[in-house]
Chain A
Amino acid sequence: DQQVKQNSPSLSVQEGRISILNCDYTNSMFDYFLWYKKYPAEGPTFLISISSIKDKNEDGRFTVFLNKSAKHLSLHIVPSQPGDSAVYFCAATREGGADGLTFGKGTHLIIQP
């Protein structure tokens, strides 16, 4: 059973436009969410996170929105740049717990020049 779902395996966006990556979760115990970025042949690198006490967190071109009632979060990248082409993983967990992160399958973002 997938507790974290990223239903779009891939997304193609034109350079300069906004990229929106979506993530849904089913476990209501999750209260801390993270986005990771992964290039081929490299490990995932942390991008941005959000706690359930917030509904938005922003870091430069990256903004994560959390809708707790819908159990949905999204990552917005604006403006999109060629270096943003990568696989993006959504992860969720219980803040303060010790049972690790639960990841989605990832969305491959392709930025078109």
Chain B
Amino acid sequence: DTAVSQTPKYLVTQMGNDKSIKCEQNLGHDTMYWYKQDSKKFLKIMFSYNNKELIINETVPNRFSPKSPDKAHLNLHINSLELGDSAVYFCASSRRAANEKLFFGSGTQLSVL
């Protein structure tokens, strides 16, 4: 069983579209994250949720909105996609909100044309 699973694995779309990436973890963790790996290969945190509550919200455009229906799920909605949004997006989870090791999903490669 995959501990942290995200779908889709690949997402190709046109500029201006709205898309969503889903993430689920079956580890019983309290905290979930979205990280972005851009073309320069940096992994940067975007959001963090603890028990469905937002605890980290880095400087990310308003077009990105995370939604956590329960503590096992953290979805990422992106409105009005732009070329610069092309990247690999990783979902992750950790046992609690304290900084400690993260368990990552396999990533979603988003290509905006």
Contacts and interface: CB of A to CB of B under 8 A. Distances in A.
Nearest to A47: B101
Main secondary structure of the interface of A (DSSP, over half): loop
B83 interface: no
A22 to B, nearest CB: 17
A43 to B, nearest CB: 3
Interface stretch (A13-21, A59-67, A73-81, A101-109): A101-109
Contacts of B105: 43
A98 B90 contact: no
Interface residues of B, number: 26
B90 A44 contact: yes
Given A42-B106, A44-B43, A98-B56, 18 more contacts: A34-B101, A36-B104, A41-B107, A42-B107, A43-B90, A43-B92, A43-B104, A44-B102, A45-B104, A95-B100, A98-B48, A99-B45, A99-B56, A100-B33, A100-B48, A100-B99, A103-B43, A105-B40
